[in-house]
Every structure is written in C-alpha cells, then in structure tokens.
Chain A
C-alpha cells in the first residue's frame, strides 16, 4: 500500500465526513440508538438474573416450609389438622404442592446483545410430575403485542439499521465525483481510480468499524462486567459483525463500480437491503414451511387425549372403579375425603401420566423433528441472506438460539422423568398412604442449572469462510469493473 497516498486520502475522508452534516446527524442518532439497545439488552439480562434470584429464594422457602410441616406432623404422632389434600406426608400431595422444583437456564452475559428466542421461549420451568412442562408452559407473562412488535436489541441495530447507515455512508462514493465534476480530474490524474475508490471504501470501513467497537466494547463492559472479553463467543461476535459490515461496504463498492447516478445507487442498495434482509428470509420461511410443516401443539394434545380415552375404556375404568368404589379406599360417598382417596387420585394421575407421556412422546418427536429439519435447512441456506446468517450466528453465540433453548427443554424433560421416578414409588406405597418423610423432602431431586452458550454445533468456521469469500468476490468484481471503467 502506498502510505503517503493513503494518509492524504485518510485526511481527505475525515474532512469530508466531518463536514457532512447529514452524516454527522445520522451517526449521532445511530450512536444513541446503539447505546439504547445495549442498555435495554443489559437490563433484560439483569432482570433475568433478579428473577432467578427470587426463584432461588422461593425454592428455599418452600423446602423449609415442607420440612417444618412434616416435622410438626411427626412430632404430633402423625396427626394433621389441616385439609387432607395439603397433608405433606402423602407423596402425591407433596408432588403437587411444595415438591415441584424449578429448572433454570442460567443467563449468559452476552445475551445482553441479542434476545434471539428468549422472548418466546421460557428460561425457567416449574417441573411437575403430571405435566410435560416443556410442552404446556408458554414462558414469562408478557404482552403478546409487544412480543409481536419485536425487541430492540444490539442484534436488531446491527442486522437492520447499520447496513442502512453504511448505505448512506457509501452510496455516492463514486457518483458524487461524477455529479460534482471531479471525475474527469481523477481520470486524468496518474492514480488508479480503482485503487482510489478501494482506499476510500476501505478507509470508511475502518473508521466505521473501529468507531463501532470503540463504543460497544467499553459500554458493554460497564453494563455487564468485562468478564465476557475472556470468552471465545465474544471474539467470534467481533469477527462476524465486522465481516457483516464488510459485506455491506463491499456490496456498495460493487454497486458504485457500475458508475450509476447517486439516486440509482441508493435505490439499488436499498432494494438489495430489503431483498436480502426481509424478503429472502420470508421466502425461505414459506418454502421451509411447505417442505417441513411444523405440526401444531393442538394435534399433540389431541393425540394425548385419544390415548387417555382409550386407556379409560378398559384398564383405566377398572382402576377408577377400584379407587372410587373399593372398600379398601373407603370411599362410599363423596362427602369425606379419605386417605384412600388421596392415594387413589395419586395412582390414577401416575397411571394416566404414563399413558399421556407415551402418546406425547411420538407427537413430540414429530414436532421437534420438523423444527430440527427446518433449522438444519436454515443452517445450510443461511449464506443466501447475510441478515439471516448474522441472526443465526449472533443468537448461537449469545446463547439465545432455538437449539440452546431446545437443549434446555430436553434437560428439563429428563429432570421431570427423574422427579417422577422419585415420587411414583412413594405415591404407590399403600400401607399407610402417608410415607413421605423429612429425609424424602431433602432428597427431592434438584435441577442443576447451567448456561447454554456452547456453539460447537454452529459450524461457525464454514459460515465465516463463506462470507470472507463473498466479501472478497464482491471487492474483486468491483475493483475489476473500476479498472476497466477508468481505461
């Protein structure tokens, strides 16, 4: 690189940009927007941390209450004066009341950058033995309209807003020379126009990207602590976002090389932004929904209910009769709840749940199988839209991708099975029906919370290579065109 020429151009570019009031105003606006997005993301992260802290306290409170209630009953020779359905010495009652444990997806600091799927997927569940919690729990209480509108995070600013700023920043790099009449002067100079334009774009890219990270890194460190700097996730994010900006600069360079008017350049670039950022993902969505239609959870429920009805035609019918009419359970009429009835309900719930779980398993495989197929197709095709690629990579690196929530929900389901295995034998003990002790309360399984921010499944190197190659091709094509144009 010819350093004196580069320095002259750098000074020239800085002066030009400094004197461009429209750009200065736009930069200021975007800077504010960027800061706002970081603040919003970090406060969402903190809110999750607070909620999880509250959940922890609530859980401890419930565990203490359960143990002290059992201790009181044991001290009173197993006499319980309250309502029988609240008696914690029945395993079934505890499994419904104080027994259910929370399963938590530990928030990852960098999720402050990207909401991803975390606005629609739960990051904690209360795990009951009689509900497939990952199928029926919809997540936090949130206004559907606000969810529909979408979140305002760093990812949104990077994917949608900054490319438009880059367009405004670069659309007339060459056209302005023509429109101001300086093009002829440039052509008659002894400098290569192609190289000059490449320098101009390169300088603008460097200024833009450098300024961006100079703002983002310290602000984020101040908002969520600088520990994220030690993660591989962060450096991949820096690499990908810089490459994403590089793509838009390179595209603009190519469009500029066609020597069109400023207006036409702007129209083409805005059209491409719309096409690549909104339309391609939409078209892909239509195609994938046709190829791999995702069954509704409504069908899944119908299958569960069919299985239950089938069970109650024979075996379930016998069990119900046994529970509600047998002298063993002492229910002669529905006025007094007896210990046998609590036990009986527990057994019915346990049996029905096994049937429901088996039926749901098939439907569940179908549901998640189709989503996985769509996800795999997205991964293969993400190169056709840089916006989609950024969305996928950012979500994966910040721990808010569907894949990570799915992993969490599978872990929760495993934990539910573990909880069932713990409670079922205790619910089925018939001798006294009241066998749940303090030691049992202490042994209730707990979910081991962890962060889900691994990205090995993302094939990040190949995405990066594809985009490096794409940027290189765009730059090369633009450069070649300019070399020919200046001849």
Chain B
C-alpha cells in the first residue's frame, strides 16, 4: 500500500504543471550554480598560484640592493583557493587572499574582491553554497507545504482514510515521494561537483578532499532531512496550503535574511569594532612612547646602543664588528611586533565574540547553522582566514630575521642571497580541525532536526478525519 501511495504521489507531483516548472527551474539553477562556482574556483586558483610564483620570482630576481631596501620590495603570501571552493566561496571575497611580506609592517590581508564589485554582489553569488542555503529550502517548502494540506482542502482525506489505507501508510508514502524528489536534486548537487573536481586543471589532493567532502555531504543530507521534515510537519499542522506556504516562507525569510542580518547588527553594537583611525593612532603611540615603563623609542634606542657597545667592548658605533642599523631594525621589529600583535589580537578577539553571537542566533535559524558548517568544512571561514594570516605573519618575521642577520655583515644583497629566502606555501588544516571548529553549528543543526522530527511525529498523531 505504501508503494501505491508513493507512486500516486510521485505521479501527481511530476505531472503537475507548476511542479514541472519548479523542477525545471531548479535543475537549471543547479547547473548555473555549478558552472559559476567551477569557473570562479578555477580562475581564482590559477590567478593565485601564478601570482604566488610571479611575486616570489620578482623578489628573488630584484638584483643588487641594500638588504633592507630589498626586503621592503618584499613579496606576497597568497591564500590558495580552498579545494572545495567550487561548492562554497564563503567569506574569501570579503577577507582577501593577499598578505604583503614587508619589514616593519605587520601584514594585513588585502585586496578584497568585494571592493571591486558592483551592487549586483549584494544579491549574492550563485554557487552550490548559495543554492543550498537560499534556494533549496524554498524548493523543499514549495514541494512539501501542501503534501497533506491539499487532502484536507480537497476533502480527499476522508476518502483515503475510509479506504484500506492507514494514516501511517499515507504518511510514509507521501514522505517517501517527497524525499525521492529532494534526493534526486541532492544527487545532482553532490555528484556533479565530484566530477568537476576530477576534470579541473589543478591536481586534487584526494586523501584530504574526500573526508571533507564526505562530511559536507553528510551535513547536506542532514540539512535536507530537516527541511523536508519541517515542511511536512507544517503541512500536517496547518491543514491549509496557503497558510502552510506563508508560514514556511516567512520562516525561510526570517532564517535566511532577517535573523542573520539583525544579529550581525546587534553584534556590531554589543562588541563595537575599533575604527582604523583609532587603531593607527593607538599603535603609533604605543610604538613611539612604549607600553608601561618601556620608555620612548629614543630611550629604548639609546639603551640598545649602550648594550650593543658593551657587548662588543667598543665605545663607538663605527668600531662595531657588525652593522648597528640591522640590529636596531631587528630590535624594533620585535618590540613593534609585540604592539601590533596585541592590537591585532584585540581585533581578532572582538571579531571572535561577534562571530560567536552571530552563531548563537543559529538557534533560531537552521539555515545559518548550515552555512557555518559549510564554510568551516570548505575552509572558507574566519578560522581558516585567521590561520592563514597567522602563518603568513610568521613567514614575514622569518624573512625579516634572515635579511637582518645578513645585513649585519653585508651592505649589498645579490640574487644569490634573495634566492635563499624561502617561498611561502599555505595548506588549510585537515578535516579534524575543521570539524572541531564546526561543532557548535553541527550541534545546532542536529538539535533542529530532532525538534522538527518531534514536531512532525506529534502533528502526524493529530491526524484525524
């Protein structure tokens, strides 16, 4: 009997003109999302890897220069595209991928794509992530909102239940039919990207990608299950197609747009960010006048000079066996570095508090929880951004130390020296690290699924003619 109901429901869904339009439109959107995501990922990856090579090549072939001047020419550390960027580009366009490795200046990640985009960008960027977070819920809600409600509206529920069909058989049959269509769509979303990964020009590190991809698919299935169950539960509860549709669309609107944006504004107010002007002013003062009893920059320089002269047992800088300027540079690199580290740590700590507040609102919006999970798994999230920035900064200091050590004994650096400076390469941490950052969103998603299941079962138990 379940099979019969399943078939009847499926035929009804497939033969309805509006459903045909919905399915066709959705399939086209999936295609476009995949195309857009794939071209974005491939183009950006090529640009970034090529630029990483070019910038380093420029650095190591800059010719004879004063070592410090040459170090100021510097080079860039680029965050490569995430392996699964074709699915989700997360916040990459908002953070930028370029980190300038230059003495004295603690790097910041620059060149955010979003700065050079038109107003169209505010409508979102159509890729699989966008499709799954914005369109898929609406597709599932449009599919499921009248699954049961129509039986009441058409008066067919009495006929069906007075025949030999039990409420359970009706329920399971309809649920399976709806689940099959959702599953078919998900199959497209899951399998085609795998095929695209196979054909993309960059080699894929499968041992890293496959576990991540597996987790992404598991999360996607959980999310789709939650949405389907929720749609069915509302359809059972309201017994009115229009009311179910308005309710589910309202929930979608609240969860996708309203709650995230309101919480983002709230977090800006609860944890206000420092302005760039204040940040510059504060760090400038700390560097010039010192923190606590450190003394002014001039006083610290005088102390350093006295210490260095004493260390080498000479009375004049000119008599030192090493050059004093690189020693000064390295000394202030460290002390200014501490100031900048503190300042950036404060900014990051504040951003972390803001992010936590936004994530907390996922308790009210499963869409937000999935987005967070998706960004973490694809390494297009804030944690990966911080990790990249920290590693690039370590590399910058390593280069600075190497150049200053060379400069203590040499006033000219040739290409032979520049070639000894190491190239930068970044690899996002593996699946364990990503999952550990996504525990909260995963927990919220599971909680929502359990809640939706309970709601569906309770609504099902209320089914009476």
Contact = CB atoms under 8 A, between A and B. Distances in A.
A, B bound = yes
A167 to B, nearest CB: 9
Q: Is the interface of A mostly helix, strand, loop or mixed?
A: helix
Interface string B254-285: 00011011101101110001111111110000
Interface in A121-144: 121, 124, 126, 136, 138-144
A243 interface: no
Nearest to A142: B273
Contacts of A120: 94, 112, 114-115
Contacts of B350: 143
Q: How many of chain B's residues touch chain A, expressed as a range?
A: 35 or more
A423 interface: no
Nearest to A333: B323
A317 B279 CA distance: 37
B276 A139 contact: yes
A305 B351 contact: no
Given A282-B124, A286-B126, A378-B119, A267 B78 contact: no
Kindly name the residue among A138, A164, A298 whose own CB sees the greatest number of chain B CB atoms within 10 A.
A298
Q: How many of chain A's residues touch chain B, expressed as a range?
A: 35 or more
B32 interface: yes
Interface string A16-30: 000000100010000
B91 to A, nearest CB: 5
Interface in B331-373: 347, 350-351, 354-355, 358
Contacts of B22: 271
Contacts of B387: none
Interface in A143-169: 143-152, 156, 160-161, 164, 168
A341 B65 CA distance: 14
Given A141-B347, A298-B98, A299-B51, A283 B326 contact: no
Kindly name the residue among A22, A116, A152, A388 whose own CB sees the greatest number of chain B CB atoms within 10 A.
A152
A288 B114 CA distance: 15
A121 B115 CA distance: 6
Kindly name the residue among B18, B54, B122, B317 whose own CB sees the greatest number of chain A CB atoms within 10 A.
B122
A139 B116 CA distance: 13
A294 B266 CA distance: 34
A171 B245 CA distance: 12
Contact of B120 (A86, A284, A305): A284
B118 A378 contact: yes
Contact of A145 (B91, B114, B120): B91
Nearest to A371: B116
Interface stretch (A4-12, A196-204, A273-281, A468-476): A273-281
Interface of A: 22, 26, 33, 36, 40, 43, 51, 54-55, 58, 81-83, 86, 102, 116-117, 120-121, 124, 126, 136, 138-152, 156, 160-161, 164, 168, 171-172, 261-264, 266-267, 270-271, 274, 277-279, 281-286, 288, 294, 296-299, 301-302, 305-306, 308-309, 312-313, 317, 320, 324, 333-337, 348, 367, 371, 374-375, 378, 387-388, 391-392, 395, 401-402
19 contacts: A43-B269, A58-B277, A126-B280, A140-B275, A145-B91, A145-B94, A145-B355, A145-B358, A147-B114, A282-B123, A297-B116, A301-B55, A302-B58, A306-B58, A312-B65, A320-B69, A324-B412, A334-B323, A387-B123
Interface of B: 18, 22, 29, 32, 35-36, 47-48, 51, 54-55, 58, 61-66, 69, 73, 76, 78, 90-91, 94-98, 108, 110-126, 130, 134-135, 138, 142, 146, 153, 241-242, 245-246, 249-250, 253, 257-258, 260-262, 264-265, 267-269, 273-281, 297-298, 301, 317-318, 320, 323-326, 347, 350-351, 354-355, 358, 382, 385, 407, 411-412
Given A117-B119, A161-B258, A285-B121, 12 more contacts: A40-B265, A51-B277, A54-B277, A120-B94, A145-B264, A156-B257, A263-B245, A264-B18, A283-B126, A285-B118, A324-B66, A333-B318
